Amino acid sequence: MQKEKAKERIILGIDPGTVILGYGIVKEVNKKITLLTMGVIKMGHLDDHALKLQRIFKKVSALIEEYHPDCVALESPFYGKNIQVMLKLGRAQGVAMAAALNADIPISEYAPRKIKQSVTGNGNASKEQVAAMLQTLLSFKETPEFLDATDGLAVAVCHAFQQNLSGEKQSYSGWEAFVKDNQKRVR
Please tell me the distance from the alpha carbon of residue 139 to that of residue 37, in angstroms, as a whole number.
13
**Which residue in the list 47, 75, 142, 168 is annotated as catalytic?**
75
**DSSP assignment of 151-176, as one string?**
HHHHHHHHHHHHHHHHHH----SSHH
Is 148 considered catalytic here? yes
Is 15 noted as a catalytic residue in this protein? yes
Which of 8, 15, 128, 145 is flagged as catalytic?
15
- ∠ at Cα 11 (124, 163), nearest 5°? 65
48 is in an annotated binding site: no
Q: Do the annotations mark residue 15 as ligand-binding?
A: yes
168 is in an annotated binding site: no
- What is the rounded (10 degree) CA torsion for 150, 74, 101, 43? -60
Q: Which of 65, 66, 70, 148 is catalytic?
A: 148
Q: Give binding residues for Mg(2+) as ranges.
A: 15, 75, 148
Q: Give binding residues as ranges.
A: 15, 75, 148
Q: Which residues are tagged catalytic?
A: 15, 75, 148
